[in-house]
Each structure stands twice: as C-alpha cells, then as structure tokens.
Amino acid sequence: MNIFRIAVKEIKSDFRDVRTLFFMLLFPIVMIFILGTALSNAFHWTISVGDVRVLYKDQTAERLSPYIHAMAQEAKKAHIDFRKVLDHMDGKQAVQEGKADGYVEIGPRGVELYINERNKIKGSLVEGVMAAFVGQYKLAMAVSEVKPGSVQPDHSPHEEYIQERSLHSKRNPGAMDYYAVAMTTMIALYSALPGISLLRGERTRKTADRLLAAPVRKSEIFIGKLAGSVAANFLCVAVVMLFSQWVLHADWGHHVSLVWLLMLTEVVLAISFGLGMSYMARTEGAARTIAMVIIQLSSFFGGAYFPIDETAWYAHLSPLSWMNDTIFKIVYANDLSSVVPTMLLNIGIAALFLMIAVASMARREGL
C-alpha cells in the first residue's frame, strides 16, 4: 500500500510541473508536425527516369532472336524499349550523341554493352536487364542440355525456373510516419532527466529526512517513486503516440500493443539511466549535463532528426537506433523477430543502472 501511495504522489507531482508537461508533450508534437511537413519531399521512395531506349545488334545468325524478342517484350512493360539497329545506323555513335541510352552487340563470343554515362540511372537499368538476360540464357542452355526440348524459345525461361521473392516491404514510411516514431522514441529517452531528480530531488528539497522518518522502508520509497515516474513518463509518451496517430495520421501498424511494450521498456531504461547517473555524478548539475550530452548524441546518431545509414559503424550504438529499427520492422515489414531482443536489451541495461543506484543508496544513511 505504501508503494502505491508513493507512486500516486509521484505521478501527481510530475503532472503539476507545467514545464515538464510542456517539454514532454508539446515539444515532440510540434517537432513531428514541423519536420513531417517540411521534409515530406525527402521521403519519396520512388523515382521516375522516363523511357529508356536501347539499340541492339544480333550477330548470332538470328539464333538468339526468339530470346531477345521475349526479353524485349518483358522490358517494354518497364518502359525499356529495345530496337534492332538498322544497317545504316551506328549504335555506338547513337549512344555518344545521346540518341540512345544503350547499345548491345550480341555475338558468338558474348555480349558487349555500351551505355551513355550522362544518365547513369538509365545505364544501370540497361546493365541490369542485360545481366538478367545473359543469366537466363545460360540457365536455359543448361536446362536444355539436361532435358532437351524442355525450354521453348518463345517464352522466357525465367518464369519457369526462377522464382523471385522480395525480402523488403513495399510499404515505406512517409515523413510524418518517420518522425512520429523518431520523436516519440527520442522523448522517451528524455525521461532520464526526471530520473536524475527522482531521489536526489528529495535531498535537495530537504524532504528526504521526513520520508525516512515515516513508517516506510527505503525499498518501498525506491520502488514507489520509480514506478510512479515510469507511469507518468509513459503516459506522456502514450499521449504523443495517440496524437500522432489520430490527429497527424501517422502509421503505427497493426501491432500497436507490441509498440506500447517497447516504449515502456525504453522509458524504464531512460529513468534507470537517470537514476543511476544521479548517484554516479557528484552534483545534480553534473548529472544533468552528462545525461543531456548522451541523449543528444544518441538522438543525432540514432536517427531522430534524419534517417541514418544502417551499415554505418555507429548505426546500433544508440538506443534509438535499435528502437526505431524494431518499430519500423513491426509497422512496415510485419517482422516481429526483433521485439523480444530489443526489450531484453532495454531491460538489461536498465537493470545495470538500477543495481548501481541500489548499491549506492545502500551505502548511504539517507536517500
């Protein structure tokens, strides 16, 4: 009962602090709206390159003509137009003059490709198509050697012998969706600041002695204040999430309950970090300075302000990195494999800082 009363008192105290409410609620909502609106064009995941024109010359006595025709028909669906070079035309010169995006010579010794370097995107498309064509033709020849007549030249062998499946979701976050997640996880990390003054504030306000004089154990004070702070800060995070979903129409996917649990573990991590830091630093000012530096670095390298490269060496050093990555997998790829490891990582780090706080408090006479 004492733990519950202390927790309720902590929640009431946090919500009476107007500055805390302003920072934990209004600040992330405004940031989501501003960044989500201003950077909306930066989150277009498609690009239009227009029609691609490719010239080709078949020097194999028309043996590959059926396969080339099948390839040209498939490529035409992707707006890549293959045209046979006329006798009076010079394919290489046409590419140099920009009249064609690529020129292909198919001979007995192989395939030679010439692309226009002025448009590398179109050149890469042509190169990819020709690489696929050569691979499919080799596969067709190999199958024909094992089972003659099984591959007909009037259709692509790719459809029969190769099945492709994408490992990436076709859904991608827009600017509002991205910053709804990024700002929410960032503000959850800022819960470390209330955690610093959770017990140290009692000593600063000279109320620690009154708490110890009351008929309540140290452990009850510790657990009650920790539970109340976690509940208050998680409620702020929940309000930001709900506002971004209902008002700003951000997409949080179909597994919102798992996202709630992830956010709860991050809040526990942040408050535990702040609580441990309050005992490790000599003064509250020093603890806040260290915590702010770590939070800002974690936000910058964790993708709070802009998407980061997942292959970079710093990509998974920030708690926001693994939180954002896990949430985006849940929302846009329906991938739940990272949920439990991320939750265990958050709880494990939180337990480490809580043990530091408990050990430090046990050595003190007061809080």
CATH number of the domain at 76, please: 3.40.190
169: in domain: no
Lateral strand order in the sheet of 110-115: 80-84, 52-58, 102-107, 110-115
**Helices 284-301 and 175-189, interaxial angle, to 10°?**
160
Same domain flag for 6 and 132? no
The domain in which residue 94 lies consists of 52-161
**How far, in Å, CA of 195 to CA of 204, rounded?**
14
Q: Which residues contact 116 (CB under 8 A, 6 or more apart)?
A: 95, 96, 98, 100, 101, 102, 122, 123
Torsion, CA 315, CA 316, CA 318, CA 319, rounded to 10: 140
Same domain flag for 191 and 145? no
**How far, in Å, CA of 295 to CA of 186, rounded?**
8
Mind listing the pLDDT tens digit for each residue in 58-69?
777 666 667 777
Same domain flag for 300 and 196? yes
**How far, in Å, CA of 249 to CA of 175, rounded?**
11
- pTM summary value: 0.68
Do 316 and 301 touch, CB atoms closer than 8 A? Answer: no
The pLDDT score that the predictor gives to residue 159 is: 43
What's the whole-number average pLDDT of the chain? 82
Residue 147 has pLDDT above 80, yes or no: no
**How far, in Å, CA of 29 to CA of 179, rounded?**
10
Same domain flag for 35 and 61? no
Same domain flag for 72 and 9? no
Give just the sign of the alpha carbon dihedral 267, 269, 272, 274.
Answer: negative
Count: domains in the chain: 2
Do the bridges between strand 102-107 and strand 80-84 make them parallel or antiparallel, or are there none, so unpaired? unpaired
pLDDT-derived band of residue 148, with 50, 70 and 90 as boundaries?
low
Q: Which of 133, 161, 189 is the last residue of a domain?
A: 161
Mind listing the pLDDT tens digit for each residue in 18-48?
888 888 999 999 999 999 888 877 675 555 5
**How far, in Å, CA of 232 to CA of 234, rounded?**
6
Mind listing the pLDDT tens digit for each residue in 177-201?
999 999 999 999 999 999 998 888 7
Same domain flag for 22 and 57? no
Q: Which residue has the higher pLDDT, 167 or 205?
A: 205
